[in-house]
Amino acid sequence: MNGNRSSETAAYPGSAADDTVSAFDVLALGSLAVDDVLYLEHFPRPDEKITVTRRLRRCGGLAGTALLAAARFGARCAYAGWFGDDELCRFIGERLRAEAIDLSYAAPWPGGGVVHSTVLVDPMRHTRTVLAYRTGEPGPADEAPPLQVIRDSKVLLIDHHGLPGTLRAARAAAEAGVPIVADFERNAGPLLAEILPLADHLVLGLRFARRWLEEPDLDPADAVRRLWTPRRKAVVITHGEHGCHYRGCDDDEVRHRPAYRVAVRDTTGCGDVFHGVYAALLARGATLEERIRLASAAAALRAAADVDHPDGIPDERAVTAFLAVFPAVP
């Protein structure tokens, strides 16, 4: 178990007391966050006092942002990690429920289970710095959600949080033939080495891939080749403004999709948006090319979103309109 947290007394729909289990398009288990975003005149130097030009609060985290993106592409989504009852969790709950994201399988825990981040955005240099503080241990419980909920889902979305529960869920999904989309950003412990081979849709940033493979200068195409295994359905290595390299199970070649050229305002959550759209389209049965094309466009729109947008995450209509103007790879 994670510390002294236990899921044994939690009441879940679909448990022994309720055999009715609903299928979800995307079931996510990873981190939720509240992001307090500060737009700065420039990134501060030591001992400098600067003006914050704008501040806002958003629902974030690897799982939270991805779920919002997936829901806006029409996916029926659910979150099934630890979820508390404090002010931060209430804020996240309001945002997720507003998008019809199901929280009935979230594991109740008074300790919280979300990350509270302060995000410093430098609009001049198009950079952002994330200062993350854990109010609890994010991710899934060790023994929840019910295995049938995992088996009945169309796609399982995981990250590097709550590794014992994530390993349990990944094994159940793999045995049931449920696609697993993985979003890892750091090596959170030895169990990750058992989880990573189970992810048949490995969608990683180049920085993590280089650290995992212990090659700091590794080319993204070579990272795809190194991470490929016979059980993979897709390996995608994203690299910000340089686009992504990828390979699918029906192709022996590594392909490259350049990033869409947009006026970047804030890159916070771009990778998470990519994962969410990818997972939603995978559940829909879209081809790998279509998944990557639309996920890349959605990430570009997130980067270019106006600060007045509530969270900067586009819906499918906005992505379709964008691609009507940029129908081909730029």
Confidence of residue 258 (pLDDT cuts 50, 70, 90): very high
- Mean pLDDT over residues 309-330, rounded? 86
Percent of the chain with pLDDT over 90: 58
What does the alpha-carbon distance between residue 208 and residue 183 come to, in Å, rounded to a whole number?
10
The burial of 2, by beta-carbon neighbours within 10 Å (0-12 exposed, 13-18 middle, 19 or more buried), is given as buried
Percent of the chain with pLDDT over 70: 91
Q: Please answer whether residues 138 and 115 qualify as being in contact, where contact means their C-beta atoms are separated by less than 8 angstroms.
A: yes
- pLDDT tens sequence across 13-43: 433 334 444 589 999 999 898 888 888 888 8
**pLDDT confidence of residue 22:** 56
**pLDDT confidence of residue 254:** 96
Which residue's entry shows tokens 């240099």?
A: 125
pLDDT at 5 over 80: no
* More confidently predicted of 206 and 138: 206
- pLDDT tens sequence across 75-117: 999 999 988 888 888 899 999 999 999 999 998 877 666 888 8
Instruction: Tell whether pTM > 0.85.
Output: yes
Q: What is the largest CA-CA distance in the chain?
A: 59
| Phi (first) and psi of residue 279, to 5 degrees | -65, -40
pLDDT at 198 over 90: yes
Confidence of residue 328 (pLDDT cuts 50, 70, 90): low
**pLDDT confidence of residue 1:** 36
Average pLDDT, the chain: 87
Which residue's entry shows tokens 């979003």?
A: 183
What does the alpha-carbon distance between residue 298 and residue 320 come to, in Å, rounded to a whole number?
9
Element (DSSP H or E) covering residue 202: strand 201-205
**pLDDT confidence of residue 330:** 57
**pLDDT confidence of residue 39:** 85
**pLDDT confidence of residue 104:** 93
